[in-house]
Structure 1
Amino acid sequence: MMKPLTLIGVMLLLLLTGCASQYSITESDIEQYLNKDMHFEVKQGNQLIGVSLKLNEIQVVLGQKPNTMAVTAATVIRVNNPLLPIQARLKTTFEAEPWYDSKTKSVYLRQLNLVKVESEPKDIERYIAQATPQLMGFLRNYLQTQPVYTLDVNDSNQALMAKMTKALEVHQGKLVVKF
């Protein structure tokens, strides 16, 4: 029979082991990282005739669908032409599966699907319809090749987590890093 003090010590050790087996990255953490560190701008053409696209104001929703991260980005688009210059804001939402790359200590997205595009002004879509697939292709490629979160190896806790991470799980409002 175990002594009460030993039993309490074993229970405390089990509790601490369970706490140390996972770490969470919140939606807010990812949004801050993306809005601070992710810069996406595409310019094609010249000042007379051309297109520019700039991504900003990224929002993240985790776990609304199983194993899925939704990324919504406000995008400013400018179409320069001598007859009808256009400026609009597109709000695009992609859904993707997050995954962890142990070599770069980063979270990336795969299987990106464009689920929604809204424009402001609303009737601008007919003017930019021909450019939209190419622009969404640029955006999709960028989001698939750039990390959406990188563990900070200068922080001792995150450096330890980066070495021990085995998998990611998407929960409502957070990514759970499993060791």
Structure 2
Amino acid sequence: MTTERTEDYLKTIEAVVSKKGYAQVKDVSAALGTSPSSVTGMFQKLKNDGYINYEKYGGVTLTSKGKNIAQNTKAKYGVVKDFLTVLGVDSNTADEDACRIEHVLTDDTIDVLTKFVDFIHHSDEYPLWMDHFKHFYETGEYINCSPATKKNCPVHGNTKNKQSDK
């Protein structure tokens, strides 16, 4: 099992490598806001663990093992951020929280979140209950209406605070 720190390094290395073909200590140091000596030490550990190809003073690339972890971590981050955004969390907060949460969720939980977000994004109509949740979040008031009673619903009906249907 990898640590949060290892996953963050591998994800950062992958991002740099995808842009320029290799990563250097200065690239990772700048991206993570850590000292070059800390990055050098971590590079040695990552090399010993079989996650990167590393020659001192040279460029770093990921091994297939390292790339797999980096891509899985990045995918988890994307799903968590998307889920939080669907719930109405602002983008910056969703980004910060997803960076923390990505490391602790099980594969089963990620699978459920992935399917949920995919379901929401591929629904023909924005689910009525999502509008109800947003209303509840903003006002603390529960709404009990269905597609059949939508016209009389305070969220969807003809009121001054009408929200557009999606």
TM-score between the two structures when normalised by the length of structure 1: 0.20
Quick one: higher RCO (CA 8 Å, sep 6+), 1 or 2? 1
User: Of Structure 1 and Structure 2, which has the larger fraction of its residues in strand?
Assistant: 1
With structure 2 as the length reference, what TM-score do the two structures score? 0.21
